Structure 1
């Protein structure tokens, strides 16, 4: 693990692999940390540079965001600090929403997008209130009750025991204050559906076939909105196909990287 001091925070991150092809930036979801990308770090870290940060308020990155845009701006500042001009960005769930925010705010930094188990739609009045209620619950009860309730929505009941254990451990270890701040920030995030038609970089949309948080229909709407996007449905996986079915997920990442690297 490395750390980097930015203007507004200190981020923990992994930085592995050779400078060959487009670097890959992996953006985790809520309430996880950079260890959710362990299979992808093993798969791609030997062939190209892979950057895997803990988002502000998660994992070893302390603090909390004050507004939604901070997540994307932190990633742009990380790239500045590491002198990395452009990356292929793969984000899952909240990480996918952050990847879209990075494209919207810093499009020159994005060479390709993989949007996994996510939605581009903004919040409704009902979902906005639910996020704020969840933030209050996390501060009141801590992470354990949420983690137990959410586990078999994050992964399928047939997930390998080691995967389920890892996911539960990540959720339980999350900082309630950081996770709550993220949920409050997400409640106010913009609707990015109008931006989809303007995405000009190679894009892949991935979704677990059993995902109930962001179902296949949500992924299809993103893929239909982005010119030339590929849609990949991973059978036998719920909200975390990169952990439940890493071979299928990694194949989608590899195809995206080949498109970006092609002359």
Structure 2
């Protein structure tokens, strides 16, 4: 596993590059960093994939750019990183905000997508009330930092029963959130407030797709995942029992098994 940096689009991007083989790109959510994919990077790099997990602009080891970061900017950063690495077509997946960034990547660069993982995410544009909430939260994060916000929402990110049963997972999530740069997280919130609706895009997806959701996810409930599954022709749906918004961390074995089956299917369509 190699932790590296690249100079792309005027910023420094930190990323993991592990394993060898066909490329699998994993995009983290808000307000996390690439370490949220550690169970997947290790497993799939050992399983014959080249796994690339970047820190998004404003998070982790990647440059913080205050202001507003639209989903398009995140998607173009990923494309520029792939160009830097000499990679054309990839299987790409994201969780929560990362899933929305992946949808934007599909909108901009459909020819580069070989397979698609959408985890604990949803395609709709923000409501007017939602825009206000995200903008207000952005100002709060800049003003206060992320500790108070983290303490309020941790039990939605990780199911309460897993906070108790899996303290190392809860500590990892809490640490990512505490450590997120406030200006970077705020810029993402402002940009996400203005995201487009990806509903029509889902109907145009012509590559293998996997929709995953934690059974007890309050942010993006199972009904959202089922609706996405219906809109993407030929997609698979995996509901991970015993997990909330971060099934890849809360139930990594079950999440990885679903992803492994899906990737095997992608390979048959190579």
For this structure pair, what is the TM-score category when the shorter chain's length is used for normalisation?
over 0.9
Aligned partner of 2:25 in structure 1 is 25
Distance in 2 separating the partners of 1:220 and 1:122:
18
State the Cα deviation string for residues 96-129 of structure 1 (Å, max 9, x = none).
Answer: 0001000000111111011000000110101111
- Report the TM-score when normalising by structure 2: 0.95
Alpha-carbon distance between aligned partners in 1 of 2:258 and 2:130, rounded to the nearest angstrom: 30
Report what 1:51 is aligned to: 52
Tell me what 1:99 maps to: 102
Q: Which residue of 2 aligns with 1:250?
A: 256
2:200 maps to 1:194? yes
Structure 1 residue 205 and structure 2 residue 211: aligned? yes
1:178 matched to 2:184? The reply is: yes
The answer to whether 1:90 aligns with 2:117 is no
Aligned match of 2:242 in 236, 239, 256?
236
- Alignment of 1:63 onto 2:61: no
Number of residues paired by the alignment? 261
How far does the alpha carbon of each residue in 1:143-168 deviate from its partner, in whole angstroms, 9 at most, with x for none?
Answer: 10011111110001121110000000
CA distance in 1, matches of 2:258, 2:192: 27
1:146 is matched with: 149
Distance (whole Å) between structure 2 residues aligned to residue 9 and residue 256 of structure 1: 33
Q: Distance in 2 between matches of 1:98 and 1:8?
A: 19
Aligned-CA RMSD value = 0.9
2:10 paired with 1:4: no
Quote the offset at 1:66 in angstroms. Answer: 3.5
When normalised by structure 1's length, the TM-score is 0.97
Give the aligned partner of residue 224 of structure 1. Answer: 230
- Cα distance per residue 1:78-106 (max 9 Å; x no partner): 11010011111110000000010000001
Q: 148, 164, 173: which is aligned to 2:170?
A: 164
Instruction: After superposition, give the CA deviation of every residue in 1:231-261 in whole Å (9 maximum; x if it has no partner).
Output: 1111110000000001111111112211111
Runs of 4+ off more than 4 Å: none
Aligned with 2:39: secondary structure?
A: helix
Residues 53-72 of structure 1 deviation map (CA, whole Å, 9 limit, x = unaligned):
00000001022354321000
Partner of 2:41: 41
Separation of aligned partners in 1, 2:141 and 2:15: 25
1:17-56, Cα deviation, whole Å (9 max, x unpaired): 012xx31101000000000001001110122100010000
Which residues in structure 2 correspond to 1:67-78 (within 5 Å)?
67-78=70-81
Structure 1 range deviating more: 56-65 or 109-118: 56-65
> Would you say the 8 A contact 2:64–2:181 is kept in 1?
no
For residues 79 and 24 of structure 1, the distance between their equivalents in structure 2, rounded to whole angstroms, comes to 11
Structure 2's unaligned 5+ residue stretches are none
More displaced stretch, 62-71 vs 175-184: 62-71
Question: Counterpart of 2:93 in 1: which secondary structure?
Answer: strand
